Chains A and B, each alone.
Chain A
């Protein structure tokens, strides 16, 4: 990291730029929605008018040392509708989360190739079509107004830069206001402006897509022309990463830090070339150096990815930021193709805010629209347990119920309304051609459904099969009664089921196969169903926050889980698994037909970072990740233990039962240790001893 970046980082971390922020009320922007309502302004025009007003109210701020500019000075983005209007919309429609466009990936490659002026020209040509309907004309004008507003914003920054004697910055801004960028500096500045404006237009979870792929041509051109060397390029890319952390406290997500600024590196192209380039490498280094939570890095890998790439990733894992997340092309690409995506789109996949696989430019997908509760369905089946003569009968009921739930979900999301996003539309494939806002749909309009409590459900079914139907050591009614009173009168059953019951994560083929059957049922259940936008439904292994909602009212389950007790997040083993270690966990969680349940949702493994002290260990971790990928795992997230996790584990042991701490030659479950030893470990992690 150069001294310039270090200074800038320190300044931003200190929040020195917050003093430029004003509320919409202070700027007189809070009455806009009422004015729009009074004028009976159509929604798409409101979005454009709001963006114009906001960009005009932004005060250009260039921080000391900055070469890539744009700082948000408006603290909150007002809605284009009044509260009363929202009430009417909600009465007539369903909304997804906040109701604005989110969690998709813009065509950054295209806008960096063509520039803003080319988009305006394209719109102008399209407007000449006499066959355009009124909606189309209105949309195109709104889209053009958004670009014009951004150009005006860039011009004001250019003036500000010139007034401050920053000729290099001013010149970059002059070029990108209308022309296509030619240099890395220009490309990153235009990307910053565009990304800034997406947030300003009230879109959220604005992902950054395949950054290394669309930035590389500029890097290469600069190096070839001798305009820049690798260090100079790294300096600029690091600064761009820093800008992702500048206004991020203002970026609304569903929770703090959940702002969806993910980037995706590498991947394999149609000719079989692995696309890890020098910019990919610089990105991993920049993220390591900055040690900040944005952008969140995904690394596309496959069975032939060189070990060196895994090592670069493992080194970043050691940083403890919870990324990179690894996405396995060998599973994801064929999975997307079999869902109906064009091969070139499938190969171009990126990752949405968390884990969902989406298609940049062409996807207006909602990969997190609902969730199916595997654990809830299995729990419901327990109410009928005495009626099932054998395990096959129990399974048939569960299978039928999963499919019925899939049908219910597929019919529960009609009349969806999304606030128009004319600026985002400028950056999405086909919107200008179709003269339709992206909020009304893109090339792909698929919906994704999470699946919660998979391991809870699999462990429970396996426990019933073993104890009730095979060993006959527990009677069906006996188990039902124990579950109904939350094991209060049967602590023996609780112990047996919780600690000695079959669990996914031990490389036990029998229980792992139950997990496979559950996921297969889910994928089959959604197959062939269509949503109201003509898209398909995708099954996935993620949970988002649904795992909390689904656990709250869930009665005790046959895996020895108490009523209301947590269920694991994402594609992970039970909280009461007596782990053998990450190898068995990886084996258990790579046996399923993950290609068929490819909405996304990682296996998450927590590591004690003290085991990653030296380079040898980092290489070994790289080998472990490669092993998972070669086994056919689809997605992997590695977290390292931090002080906060351990403090939380101390306070809430029930949430961290399988948290293992390791020191050379020694390992133990953290929650089982006496307080003084817990404190030793907390201090050890805290001080990186």
Chain B
């Protein structure tokens, strides 16, 4: 039985897959996206967060069986609404064995995993096969820009995307819209090309950057200096519906 490190469990998550879902946030992430709104998800260890009223420890350990039992309490609601559980983070694949074990314990509950795709290929395949839905984040199509804005290039990510397209598990492509970083028509066109020939693609979701992103940095003793104009509104280019893909802008 393995233990996982979580930083939040959120009920009634509305934007993480079908129906009413509970979203589990796993701590630890290989990327450092400049616009990240959950910086408490970066480090794979508990850390202190200084809030106005008191300092709290962010990050708590849970056994897979305890987490599954807790999530299964809502199986009636999941069944009624066609919902389930979504794992996100951080990067949930950073805790692969724990993730797989928990998913197996959830039995008939629909599971979704949101991933940045930066994970060892065999693990990625295993998770993609076990999950009912993958929410696959695509930040930037260009490898150099990807490295500049997230800290890693996207070679592994694109390889896993190809594997995902091939394995047939339904997936949603999620693209954050960051003003001046990836909201150009060129990047959107390139992203749309990456998603071609994928019958299991359910839809593309464009997630508008929100200014609240910086709120948690001071609580962690970090400065939020993302290097782009946070006051600018992101451009929205739909290069997806013309290719027959469904688009949702959040």
| Bound CA span A495–B54, Å | 9
Q: Mark B69-95, 1 if CB is under 8 A from A, else 0.
A: 000011011001101000010000000
Q: What does DSSP make chain B's interface, helix, strand, loop or mixed? A: mixed
Which of B15, B53, B83 is A665 in contact with, Cβ under 8 Å?
Answer: B15
Question: Most chain-B Cβ atoms within 10 A of its Cβ — which of A582, A667, A681?
Answer: A667
Interface hit among A81-89, A406-414, A617-625: A617-625
| Bound CA span A624–B22, Å | 13
Are B88 and A665 in touch, CB under 8 angstroms? yes
Residues of chain A within 8 A of B83, CB atoms compared: 620, 623
| Bound CA span A586–B11, Å | 11
Question: Most chain-A Cβ atoms within 10 A of its Cβ — which of B53, B88, B213?
Answer: B53
**Residues of B1-56 contacting chain A, CB below 8 A:** 9-12, 14-15, 19-20, 22, 37-38, 51-54
Are B20 and A684 in touch, CB under 8 angstroms? no
Give chain A nearest CB distance to B136 CB in angstroms: 14
Q: Say yes or no: is A584 at the interface (Cβ < 8 Å to chain B).
A: yes
Q: Say yes or no: is A499 at the interface (Cβ < 8 Å to chain B).
A: yes
Q: Mark A601-619, 1 if CB is under 8 A from B, else 0.
A: 0000000000101101100
Look across to chain A and name the residue whose beta carbon is closest to the beta carbon of B56.
Answer: A499
| Bound CA span A684–B88, Å | 25
Which of A620, A626, A677, A680 is B14 in contact with, Cβ under 8 Å?
Answer: A620
Q: Say yes or no: is B250 at the interface (Cβ < 8 Å to chain A).
A: yes
Are B53 and A581 in touch, CB under 8 angstroms? no
| Bound CA span A200–B84, Å | 55
Residues of chain B within 8 A of A42, CB atoms compared: none
Q: Say yes or no: is B107 at the interface (Cβ < 8 Å to chain A).
A: no
Q: A580-B11, A620-B20, A624-B20 are in contact. Are A668 and B80 (CB under 8 A)?
A: no
Interface hit among B59-67, B121-129, B204-212: B204-212
Give chain B nearest CB distance to A350 CB in angstroms: 29
Which of B12, B20, B207, B215 is A668 in contact with, Cβ under 8 Å?
Answer: B215
Number of inter-chain CB pairs below 8 Å? 95
Give chain B nearest CB distance to A309 CB in angstroms: 15
Give chain B nearest CB distance to A591 CB in angstroms: 13
Are B250 and A627 in touch, CB under 8 angstroms? no
Give chain B nearest CB distance to A666 CB in angstroms: 5
Are B81 and A620 in touch, CB under 8 angstroms? yes
Are A614 and B212 in touch, CB under 8 angstroms? no
Give chain B nearest CB distance to A516 CB in angstroms: 18
Residues of chain B within 8 A of A64, CB atoms compared: none
| Bound CA span A667–B10, Å | 9
| Bound CA span A617–B13, Å | 10
Q: What does DSSP make chain A's interface, helix, strand, loop or mixed? A: helix
Q: A583-B77, A623-B80, A665-B37 are in contact. Are A680 and B20 (CB under 8 A)?
A: no
Q: Say yes or no: is A249 at the interface (Cβ < 8 Å to chain B).
A: no
Look across to chain B and name the residue whose beta carbon is closest to the beta carbon of A679.
Answer: B211
Are B10 and A627 in touch, CB under 8 angstroms? no
Q: Say yes or no: is B218 at the interface (Cβ < 8 Å to chain A).
A: yes
Which of B12, B20, B52, B76 is A672 in contact with, Cβ under 8 Å?
Answer: B52
Which of B22, B51, B207 is A664 in contact with, Cβ under 8 Å?
Answer: B207
Are A663 and B210 in touch, CB under 8 angstroms? yes
Are B19 and A623 in touch, CB under 8 angstroms? yes
Q: A620-B14, A665-B15, A665-B37 are in contact. Are A677 and B54 (CB under 8 A)?
A: no
Are A677 and B215 in touch, CB under 8 angstroms? yes
Q: A580-B9, A581-B12, A620-B81 are in contact. Are A684 and B215 (CB under 8 A)?
A: no
Are A627 and B81 in touch, CB under 8 angstroms? yes
Are B214 and A584 in touch, CB under 8 angstroms? no
Are B207 and A665 in touch, CB under 8 angstroms? yes
Q: Say yes or no: is A121 at the interface (Cβ < 8 Å to chain B).
A: no
| Bound CA span A664–B135, Å | 14
Look across to chain B and name the residue whose beta carbon is closest to the beta carbon of A614.
Answer: B248
| Bound CA span A495–B81, Å | 38
Q: Say yes or no: is B110 at the interface (Cβ < 8 Å to chain A).
A: no
Are A581 and B80 in touch, CB under 8 angstroms? no
Q: Mark A572-606, 1 if CB is under 8 A from B, else 0.
A: 00000000111110010000000000000000000
* B-binding residues in A (CB < 8 A): 495, 499, 507, 580-584, 587, 611, 613-614, 616-617, 620, 623-624, 626-627, 630, 653, 661, 663-669, 671-674, 677, 680-681, 684
**Beyond A614-B250, A627-B20, 20 extra complex contacts between A and B, CB < 8 Å:** A495-B54, A581-B12, A581-B22, A582-B12, A620-B12, A623-B19, A623-B80, A623-B81, A624-B20, A624-B81, A627-B80, A663-B212, A665-B38, A666-B212, A666-B213, A667-B10, A668-B215, A673-B212, A674-B215, A680-B212
A-B contact pairs, 6 of them (CB 8 A): A580-B10, A581-B22, A587-B73, A624-B12, A665-B207, A668-B216
